[in-house]
Chains A and B, each alone.
Chain A
Amino acid sequence: MKTAYEILGIPPDQEDDAIKQAYLIKVKQYPPEQASEQFQKIRSAYEAIKDKKSRINYELFYQPEANFDKLLARAFENGPATAIDGDSLIKLLRSGIEESL
């Protein structure tokens, strides 16, 4: 689970102005009418850390997740699916044949 800072793409030691600036940039990237779900996340993240008081509140009650599966998923995160070359496909095919037979 990403932190509010990660959602806005800023380090955790930023001040109000920098946070607002990052928020506005993100909103431009994900306007509500085009990416409502993403926008909601950005909005919530901004609300959570927009001023000093809310940042202290966020740090106090932000609960890190003890989900090992999600942590592992980060290790194997490789962006979008990669193209597969013919050689690998033949090898996979052979492997599939072994399994089917």
Chain B
Amino acid sequence: MASLTKLSTGILQEKAAASLASGSYKVTQEIYKILLKRENKPRYRQGLADCYMQRARLSAEQGKYQEAITFWENHRDYSDTQEVNEHYVCWLLKAGQVAKLKAYLQNLNSECLEKDYPQLALLLGFVHLGGKIDLLQWLPENTAFTMQTHAMQQALAALQHNDLALMQRHLAKIPFRSVYRDFRTVLKAVSLLCESPEKASALLAKITPDSLYYPLGRLIAVLLLNGPQLTEALLALPQQQQLLICKAKDWTPQQIKLLRTLSRQKHLSDKIKFDLAIQYQTLLGADYAQRFCLAFLVEYPAGQRQYNKAFGALPAFEKWRILALAAEAKNNMFEALDYWDQGLEQLHTNKQHNALKIALILRHMTNLCPASEVIAYLLESLEYDPEDRGTHLQIIKLYEQQGEKKQCRKSLEKALALFPGDIEFLGLAMQAAIINQAFKKAAQYADKILRIDPVNTQAKQVLFNSHLNHARKLLNSKKFHLVAKEIKHAEGLNLGRHYPALAQILNGFFIYMSEDQAQGAELIEKGLKLSTEGDFITRFRIINEALLLQIPLGPLLRKISTLEKNYSLSNQELNAFIKLLEEQHKENNSALIKTLDQLKKEFKSLLKNKQLKQEQLLDLMQCLNRINHFELMRHCLSCAKDIKSSQAWGFYKIYITALGKPAAVPPFGIQKLQQLYVQAKDQGQQRSAVLISTFLEKILHYHHIKIGNDDYFEDQEDDFYDPYEAIFEQLDSRTIAKVHRKIENLYKSLAEDQLIMSLIEMLPDKKDIPLLLKDEDLIDALLFLKAAQELNLEISITATELLAIAKQNNETSFPFPF
């Protein structure tokens, strides 16, 4: 300080400006005091006043209200402008300086407080309504502010007497822009709490966070909360406010006690949660508390004893069930399978009683196990619940998808024996018969279906085709006297759309072959007129029919004058044509390829003028692939140049070049297919991705590569060689899990030396003991075998064989050079 007094006025002024800018208000204050002693300049006074103001603000921020008051009063002494400061009033209130507050308010000398000092009016009204200090006595009477304050007090009193109508009348006196507008909103919300909680909540949401009434609004809003939000909001409140809310909510002492207990916990450990659930089970609902504890045992197994004491001992199966469900919830499917398996072991102790449970669990396990094991689980489930229709259906469809025709047929026969009148099974049997070209059988199934469901369209279609096929057979064998009856039967099925035309056309062929060619051609033309399938498909049908009936095409086509030659092919007709090809292929139409060859020139030129979209290209290519027509496939691809950049196009280019043969795809083609697969997957082109991956799998299979090894082309060298893997990889994951559990038990029940001794006993020749002791892989393999044997699992491997592998492996491995 002494050093400052020696400085010149100019330097002091510079220092004052610098220290003020750096926020060193105490230093600045001292500099201004020195400057004022030298010369009483207004700007020095104002500078000092500003310093005091800043220091008052800083003290208030630190909660030092008394100090803040003193600084502000100093500020007032030096400041030329005597502004009113609501902060000063606030600090006076905080510091309990009632005498100063009274003096300050009495000196305000304002007839219109609300207009002159709105912020102060807001604060005064807010404090006055709280009822701690009667501030109105120190303010001028009969002003707008005092009148509004009285109206608010009366509204509050009306609320206290539960007279909401009177409260509304008093609130109506409050002008829109009043300092009480937010409090009026609070009161309106309070009046709506029961009647319309949503409206009350919307009103409270209007109070902005900068309003003095915001904390009050937030407290009232807690009353409107429910569920976990209420608990969370309550726990965030101080105890006094918690108790007020509890009282307002009319809570029981037990509820309040629980809330207080929760408030006291800084962190809710698993133990505390478990204890509270048991302690407050009456309040929480005994069932709910028990369910919570049961589920929570997964995370807090230490609570088991407490659980047993509170709710009774947990059955062994229940423990595995809960563990399995918890593992499922965490997507740990293999873990879940393992737990279910252990649960099943418990249920197996009384198989008869638990049969349905076992079956249901086995079916549930199909959602968790690898796809290759689903059928095995389903079949096992039928051992416990043989008449489950859904399971039979699922098995049949899975066999169908996997192309296991024999198994599919067997399963279907089993299902039909159990459910002879089931339309779905009959329908599947009918479809299977068609695929197996057992058309007579298919017709029999269709007939059975129609007896149960006379309007079943699918069965009618099959029966219709069956009659027409039979009519063709009769025509080919010249048994003309029986043909008309078959066609009549087909017509009698009353199928809509193009079916009457098909019957009519065949009738024309019948007359053409048996009686009069001209009359027959006329009848065929009549049939053509009935057709709604479009010119190209109709031509396809006529040529196909002629080829099936071995009629020379040229003379026939010359006789049918109405057969259009310059036809078009709309998108709808192309889709219908693809469907027709699929159907005819399924029904093993013997003239299908020949018919296509007859029409391929026209079909190619029609496709040339079309702009094929990706989905259409895929439909067409898949259909042509099924009927093995690579020539048309190549042409289709050349017509779809607009989508040349698509993965589907890229795939088919490689596929057609290799004629669909995995062996014919060159290495760069495989790489390209892998790139296309990744791109299709990334771009969400599911259909293309499935097509490419299916073909890639076939290629990889051809090259004897394990399917699913995505990194095959990148890091083959990284593969770890396990000599025993080939032996045990045939076991399913369920068996492996069982064996691993058994191994764990062996480790628990036997000391290490005992375990090794038991493995030594498995060796046929004791000379091999040193080999066993130095080969960890052999120990693991023998341990696996021992566990499997103890579980009575059938594993077609012996200790001698394992030993032979170990010896061979030791011979081929390179010795260390030291």
Are A and B genuine complex partners?
yes
Residue numbers in B under 8 Å from A60 (CB-CB)? 321, 357, 360-361, 364
B161 and A83 contact, CB distance less than 8 A: no
Which among A56, A72, A74 has the highest number of chain B CB atoms within 10 Å? A72
A68 and B219 contact, CB distance less than 8 A: no
Q: CA of A66 to CA of B232 in the docked complex: distance in angstroms?
A: 18
Residue numbers in A under 8 Å from B214 (CB-CB)? 100
In the complex with contacts A60-B361, A65-B295, A78-B90 CB distance below 8 A: no
Check: A33 CB closer than 8 A to any chain B CB: no
A95 and B220 contact, CB distance less than 8 A: no
CB contact list, A72-101 vs B, under 8 A: 72-78, 80-97, 99-101
B 226-240 binary contact with A (CB < 8 Å = 1; else 0):
111011101000001
A99 and B215 contact, CB distance less than 8 A: yes
Tier of interface size on chain A = 35 or more
CB contact list, B18-69 vs A, under 8 A: none
- What's the tally of chain B residues with a CB closer than 8 Å to chain A? 75
Q: CA of A74 to CA of B284 in the docked complex: distance in angstroms?
A: 6
Residue in contact with B131 in the complex, picked from A53, A83, A94, A99, CB distance below 8 Å: A94
Interface of B is mostly: helix
A83 and B273 contact, CB distance less than 8 A: no
B 313-327 binary contact with A (CB < 8 Å = 1; else 0):
000000001100110
B219 and A96 contact, CB distance less than 8 A: yes
Residue in contact with B244 in the complex, picked from A69, A70, A92, CB distance below 8 Å: A92
In the complex with contacts A75-B255, A86-B157, A86-B159, A65-B197 CB distance below 8 A: no
Residue in contact with A82 in the complex, picked from B126, B159, B223, B296, CB distance below 8 Å: B223
B226 and A96 contact, CB distance less than 8 A: no
Distance to closest chain A CB from B403 (angstroms): 31
A68 and B273 contact, CB distance less than 8 A: yes
Residue numbers in A under 8 Å from B226 (CB-CB)? 73, 77
CB contact list, B272-330 vs A, under 8 A: 273, 277, 280, 283-285, 288-289, 291-292, 294-296, 298-299, 321-322, 325-326, 328-329
Check: A34 CB closer than 8 A to any chain B CB: no
Distance to closest chain A CB from B255 (angstroms): 6
Residue numbers in A under 8 Å from B227 (CB-CB)? 70, 73, 77
Residue in contact with A56 in the complex, picked from B130, B250, B356, CB distance below 8 Å: B356
Q: Which residue of B lies closest to A65 (CB)?
A: B295
Q: CA of A63 to CA of B294 in the docked complex: distance in angstroms?
A: 10
A73 and B244 contact, CB distance less than 8 A: no
Check: A25 CB closer than 8 A to any chain B CB: no
B244 and A83 contact, CB distance less than 8 A: no
Q: CA of A40 to CA of B325 in the docked complex: distance in angstroms?
A: 24
A100 and B212 contact, CB distance less than 8 A: yes
A76 and B216 contact, CB distance less than 8 A: no
Check: B690 CB closer than 8 A to any chain A CB: no
A76 and B295 contact, CB distance less than 8 A: no
Check: B762 CB closer than 8 A to any chain A CB: no
> Which 8 A/B pairs are nearest by Cβ-Cβ distance?
A86-B160, A96-B216, A64-B291, A66-B295, A64-B295, A69-B228, A73-B227, A99-B215
Q: List 20 A-B contacts (CB under 8 A).
A: A53-B360, A60-B361, A63-B325, A68-B296, A71-B288, A72-B231, A73-B231, A74-B288, A82-B223, A82-B250, A83-B193, A84-B193, A84-B223, A89-B190, A91-B244, A96-B216, A97-B130, A97-B212, A97-B216, A100-B212
Beyond A76-B230, A97-B127, A100-B215, 12 additional contacts (C-beta under 8 Å) are: A66-B296, A66-B298, A72-B258, A74-B284, A75-B280, A83-B162, A90-B160, A92-B248, A93-B129, A96-B213, A96-B219, A97-B216
